[in-house]
Amino acid sequence: MKNIFKIFAFLAILGLIPACEGNLEIEPYNSLDASTGFKTKQDVDAALLGGYSAIQNSNYYGLQMQVLPDLYADILSHTGTFPTYAQVANRQLLADNTSLTSLWNQVYVAIDRTNNVIASAPGVSDPSFNVNAALGEARLLRAFHYFNLLRLYGGMPEGFNKGNGLGLPLYTTPTLSAEDAAPKPRASETETWALIMEDINFAVANLLSTKVNGRVNKFTAQALKARAHLYRGEWAEAEAAANDVITGGGYTLMPTATYANIWLSQNTTEAIWELQFDVNNTNSIAFWYYPTANGGRNEFTSLASFRDAHEDGDVRKVVNVSTAPANKTQKYTRISGTDNVMLIRLAEMYLTRAEARAQQNKLSDAIADLNVIRNRAGLPNANPATVAEAVDAILKERRFELAHEGHRWFDMRRVGRWNAFGLTESFRSRWPLPQREVQTSGDIIAQNPGY
């Protein structure tokens, strides 16, 4: 962690320093002395916006977290020249892969930004400041970051919450000095989950229901809770959290005829958490997808096998695998970099509730949820006869519904199907920690076995 946190020690308030894509619709301070901290509610809100800015970075959800998992699975192929992406597409990752290193580093940057807010917010003396709501926002972001790191680098080949799984180095206080930046050994998976769930539960209890584009609220917390319980195999809890979002959040699915508008129009009624981009805060997703004739790089394209696996009449096919330009996606179409990025949406909650219900042998209810998503896609009802068939049908539906959103590899990994895409070595179900982080820590940070 030394490489990550030597930056933190020099710039104590990373939450207020713009990332490559900039902060969300604010003019950030250039600096703030670490000893001063955040003294007003305006300081804290600016720092929170800096926390969202960290997610916008191209090494996080500005590109990598959608592309890399789908490239490792059966959604994308590599059509460009970057060897780091070729390793991902060939499923032969090396520990010195710079794309993985940059992703790891950026997520820890994001974690430190949240830790600054969590440390400072309780010290703000202002009767109009809702300190617990601010803490809930910061802690939900922190949970989101550690959850993403865990599903990339931790757990077991068989999935998550299985016992004896690998966790992460856990930092819960701001990095303001060399001592704060000292490398930490990896916690266990159990300890990592404990922090994630504690943060999520605090957020559920303290966040408001108010909806602000790009920012989390109580229902975002419930949705992330549903996702976390699904990964943990806690079916009743996953069902309950997803149900709270579906029935109480006020979100609605977009109609079949305007399915593509989820991304083309942006901030629709289906969006539970949609990361905002604009001309001042851009990403590079469409640029990396689109061919050179359209001003892009043509690094990634949809697999022909993925295109051909769509059922006849599926309205998602032309969104997932565009016709002009060929074999790209309509989820990212703005070469200028102003496409928003969908982090959580309502369709996922229906499929989460469906899977959780199926695993509890509530087959008719699970099928009903599955068919809500199929019917919206213009497809007829499915009628799986057993729990196993229902789970397979739901995983298949998630492949098409959530394509290009970075879910496919994690879905197959969490159900223990790490070998679904041609992998023969189970250690490759967990990606390697950055080699340089392991080496500069003096081996305090243990590498994943096999790398």
Say whether 320 sits in a helix, a strand or coil.
Answer: helix
Say whether 59 sits in a helix, a strand or coil.
Answer: coil
| Residue 40 tokens, joined | 């007003």
What residues contact 223, with CB distance under 8 A and at least 6 apart? Answer: 241, 242, 245, 272, 273, 344, 348, 349
Digit-coded pLDDT (tens) for 29-47: 444 444 456 899 999 999 9
CB neighbours of residue 128 within 10 Å: 5
What's this model's pTM, rounded to 2 decimal places? 0.93
DSSP string, 176-201: -STTTTS--PPPBHHHHHHHHHHHHH
The stretches in the chain having pLDDT less than 70 are 1-37
pLDDT at 36: 58
The domain made up of 2-333+341-424 has a fold known as 1.25.40
Residue with tokens 């689109």: 290
Domain extents in the chain: 2-333+341-424
CA 264 to chain centroid? 20
Q: Where are the alpha helices (DSSP H) in 121-256?
A: 131-153, 189-206, 218-232, 235-248
pLDDT at 178: 87
Cα distances (Å, whole numbers) of residue 370 to 18, 242, 358, 399: 41, 14, 10, 13
pLDDT at 297: 96
Query: Do 54 and 60 meet the contact criterion of CB atoms below 8 Å apart?
Result: yes
